[in-house]
Amino acid sequence: KPNLYDHLGPKITIITVIKNKADYIEETILSIKNQNYKNIEYIVIDGVSTDGSIDIIKKYTDNIDYFVSEPDDGNYDAINKGISLSTGDLIGIVNADDILLGDATEILLEYYNKYSECDFFFGSVRKHWGVISGYKPYKIKYSWFFYTSPSTGFFIKRNAAENNGK
């Protein structure tokens, strides 16, 4: 479907994977819905939640471009499903118990436009015990997706994601 906001700039795909996070998912969805930047494709992949999460998600179908609830082989399998469905210029993961601050995607686009040669971008993530920030390439040997930078603050260009695989 054509996006009414295409003229505003690049499309950002945000993927949320979930299983049984009813206590958190509404706040996560609202943080995506309430972004100041609006050219966002939102994909929610549920691993067959049984705690009421699906009912909460269904309240926001007008704000979700693609939703599916089906068995999967865990978090990374669900993320890969979301990546396969994504059509955005930038792809990011916002976990089912995380949120984006209202100007997060605007800040992302400032860096995207200023550093167009970069393949990925990452921002600070505030946890209950403090703020995580910084890219630590030496940690890449442990885990590409999580340890090199905070996952919720990590966005990658579509072509870089395709070149590197899921």
- pLDDT tens for each residue of 83-104: 999 999 999 999 898 888 899 9
Higher pLDDT: 147 or 121? It is 121
Statement: residue 139 has pLDDT above 70: no
End-to-end CA distance of the chain, in Å? 25
What's the rounded mean pLDDT across residues 138-150?
A: 52
How many whole angstroms separate alpha carbon 147 and alpha carbon 126? 15
User: What pLDDT is attached to residue 144?
Assistant: 47
User: What pLDDT is attached to residue 153?
Assistant: 76
Q: Which of the four pLDDT bands, split at 50, 70 and 90, describes residue 152?
A: confident
Q: Which of the four pLDDT bands, split at 50, 70 and 90, describes residue 136?
A: low
What's the rounded mean pLDDT across residues 56-62?
A: 97
Exposed/middle/buried for residue 74 (C-beta within 10 Å: 0-12, 13-18, 19+): exposed
pLDDT (tens digit, 9 = 90+) per residue, 4-49?
444 578 999 999 999 999 999 999 999 999 999 999 999 999 999 9
Check if the beta carbon of residue 64 is closer than 8 Å to that of residue 35.
Answer: no
Check if the beta carbon of residue 106 is closer than 8 Å to that of residue 34.
Answer: no
CA count, 13 A, side-chain hemisphere, 56: 21
Name the average pLDDT for the chain.
86
DSSP code per residue over 52-84: SHHHHHHTTGGG-SEEEE---SSHHHHHHHHHH
Q: Using the 8-state DSSP alphabet, how is residue 138 labeled?
A: G
Three-class SS of residue 32? helix
User: What pLDDT is attached to residue 5?
Assistant: 46
Could you tell me the CA-to-CA distances from 32 to 98, 99, 134 in Å, in that order?
10, 8, 23
103: nearest Cα among 42, 36, 17: 36
Residue/partner pairs of 73-77 with CB below 8 Å, 24 or more apart:
74/47, 75/17, 76/145
Going by their DSSP bridges, the two strands 40-46 and 66-69 should be labelled as parallel
User: What pLDDT is attached to residue 150?
Assistant: 56
Statement: residue 119 has pLDDT above 50: yes
